[in-house]
Amino acid sequence: MTTQLLDPDHLAAWVATQAGYARVPGVQYAVRAGDDLVIDGAWGVADASTGEPLRTDHVFRVASHSKTFTATAVARLAERGSLRLDDPFEVHLPELAGSAVGRVTLREALGHTGGVLRDGRDADFWQLGGPFPNRAALIASVRADGPVLARGETFKYSNLAFGLLGLVVESVTGTPFAEHVRSDLLEPLRLVHTSPELGDVGPAVVGHSALGVADDGRLPVAPVRTGALDAATGFCSTASDLACWFAAHARASDLLRPETRRLMQRDESVFDRPHARRRRYGLGLETREIEGRRVVGHGGAFPGQLSRTWAAPDGGIVVSVLTNAVDGPADTIATGVFALVATALDAGVPSDEELAALDRRTGRFANLWGLTDVVRLGRDLWLIDPRPEDPLAGAERLVVDGDVLRLPAEPGFGAPGEQVEVLPDDLGRPAAIVVGGLTSWRAEDYERERRAQLAARTVTARGTSA
């Protein structure tokens, strides 16, 4: 059914285009639709210095995705009556008794409304300037400098507060945080490539620094353990495991009671910042709207790695994207893939006859001005430029009238209402398209000619210099 909704090869090509323009070393991605993992892909390399190809079983640091696991662990303990979300930290962590942070409730910590210091006075461990704090250092940090804003004053993201939530889980269960999460969450869901800390769950990618301003050079980033901040940022996983995790979290499942799931996904904070999108946060989960669908998820930023997952609460679509560069376009790709899948679902499943008629016109084409994809999304054909971050920005849904394709007769600077010609080769495959009178050729043919011209110019330049 998935290949009838959309072409996985086009999604792979769109991801590769975004990754290629960003010059990111590698991208791992997964898509679930309903109960099925429909796409599990990888592009690029796991390590830029060796060129090792990136695979779907390579493990990434998924950083603040960790908060979704920690929040779920706390919520399940609340369901069992082992703790209350309105408990202050000091009830479970005697070291915080009498301190301002000790009075912050678990719910406030889960929703980042406790006013707690984000990472500490000295947070250079985020750039490998020292070790992540252990338990003693974490407790000392929040006691000395923890309260920054008043409880409930505003949304204030805090990794330290989530580190404390991990200590609460240990206190309540009498079990190390990692062991409890494995037995209570990871093993029941068979997340075999997921671990609360670096471990033997698969080959690990190498993280990379950002691009240079004037070059494409990236430096490898050494792996580091996260100490008492495992609960905030320590988890490692794969895109397919995260897609499975969020599928269980997004829809009705045995993971959480319906009322608990709704509580976690309900917006605790909604806020705007100048020149930025509106942000929304629940309890350990971020929320957003993509193509008219409310989604929940989280991102993750770790030294040398960036990741993002979005899931529709009805369980219909889950997209997870992991990159092994600190400036990797994880959110861009995850949001774009989600939009493409959602658009295909909205268009409906074509019949076999419709499928054959539509697919014989699809492909990627190129000319002097760039790339154009003729893409099937459900029962519709679209004209899409694969270079913008939003694949539907400027895209046109084609009007299909028998054997004739037309651009929609809507206001625009392009060629509204004009015919789009698909020119076949000798085998009947699309060899070129003509849009607004401009011809674009099959992308691989155009690229072959472009490279030949570049090579010829190089030879000519060398001859001239000699």
318 with 374, same domain? no
**pLDDT number for residue 215:** 84
**Mean pLDDT score of the chain, rounded to an integer?**
93
| Residue from 433, 366, 378, 367 nearest 406 by CA | 433
The domain of 365 spans 352-446
> Which residue's entry shows tokens 């651009």?
407
Q: Is 459 within a domain? A: no
* Contact call for residues 377 and 345 (beta carbons, < 8 A): no
* pLDDT at position 205: 97
Residue 64 shares a structural domain with residue 184: yes
* Residue 419 β-bridge partners: 406
304 backbone φψ class: left, alpha, beta (φ>0; ψ -120 to 50): left
In a domain, 336, yes or no: yes
Question: Residue 30 and residue 245: Cα distance in Å, rounded?
Answer: 12
| Model confidence at 67: pLDDT above 90 | yes
Q: Is residue 114 part of a domain?
A: yes
CA distance 275 to 257: 38
342 and 400 belong to one structural domain: no
Report how far Cα 53 is from the mean position of its chain's Cα atoms: 20
- 245, 372: one domain: no
Binned at pLDDT 50, 70 and 90, residue 459 comes out as confident
User: What does the alpha-carbon distance between residue 107 and residue 257 come to, in Å, rounded to a whole number?
Assistant: 17
Q: Region 196-225: what's the mean pLDDT?
A: 91
Backbone angles phi, psi at 360, to 5 degrees: -75, -5
CB 405 within 8 A of CB 375: no
CA 311/CA 321 separation, integer angstroms: 12
Last residue within a domain, chosen from 297, 314, 348 = 348
344 and 357 both lie in a single domain: no
Count of domains forming the chain: 2
Same domain, 146 and 159: yes
Question: For residue 455, what pLDDT is reported?
Answer: 87
* Placement of tokens 């993201």 in the chain: 157
Contact, 250 vs 296, CB < 8 A?
A: yes
Query: Is position 452 within any domain?
Result: no
Residue 460 pLDDT more than 90?
A: no
Tell whether 461 is covered by a domain: no
Please state the rounded mean pLDDT for residues 216-229.
93
Range of lowest pLDDT (13-17, 26-30, 84-88, 411-415):
411-415
120 and 198 both lie in a single domain: yes
Q: What is the DSSP letter of 49?
A: T
Task: Check residue 1 and give its pLDDT.
Answer: 53
Cβ(182)–Cβ(156) below 8 Å: no
The reply to whether 466 falls in a domain is no
Q: Are residues 286 and 430 in the same domain?
A: no
Question: Is residue 458 situated within a structural domain?
Answer: no
Of 65, 66, 33, nearest to 309 (Cα)?
65
User: Within this chain, do residues 330 and 393 fall inside the same structural domain, yes or no?
Assistant: no
Nearby residues of 30 by Cβ (< 8 Å), 6 or more positions away: 37, 39, 40, 41, 56, 238, 239, 240, 242, 243, 318, 319, 320
Looking at this protein, which amino acid is placed at residue 154?
A: T
Lowest-pLDDT range, 200-214, 310-324, 435-449, 452-466? 452-466
Using CA atoms of 124, 129, 133, 138 in order, give the dihedral in degrees to the nearest 10: -30
What pLDDT sits at residue 462?
67
d(Cα 40, Cα 193) in Å, to the nearest integer? 14
**With 90 as the cut, is the pLDDT of residue 216 above it?**
no
Q: Which of 281, 316, 348 is the last residue of a domain?
A: 348
441 vs 120: CA distance, rounded Å: 56
Strand 236-237 to 269-271 pairing? unpaired
**166 and 219 belong to one structural domain:** yes
Buried b / exposed e across 141-180, counting CB within 10 Å, b at 16+? bbbeebbeeebeeebbebbbbbbbbbbbbbbbbeeebbeb
The pLDDT value recorded for residue 7 is 86
- pLDDT in the model for residue 465: 64
pLDDT band for position 376 (cuts 50, 70, 90) = very high
Residues 331-372: tens digit of each pLDDT: 999 999 999 999 999 999 899 888 888 888 999 999 999 999
CB contact set of 457 (below 8 Å; sequence gap of 6+): none
β-bridge mates for residue 32, sequence order: 37, 318
**187: domain CATH number?**
3.40.710.10
Name residue, tokens 């209570």: 184
Cα–Cα distance, 388 to 394 (Å, whole number)? 9
Residues 157 and 259 in one domain: yes
Residues 325 and 432 grouped into a single domain: no
**Residues across the chain:** 466
What was the pLDDT predicted at 257?
94
* Domain assignment present for 368: yes
d(CA 436, CA 209): 42
C-alpha 79/C-alpha 261 separation (Å) is 11
* Mean pLDDT on 208-222: 90
Distance CA 301, CA 307 (A): 7
Name which of 303, 167, 295, 319 is nearest 243 in CA terms: 319
Q: What is the CATH number of the domain that holds 376?
A: 2.40.128
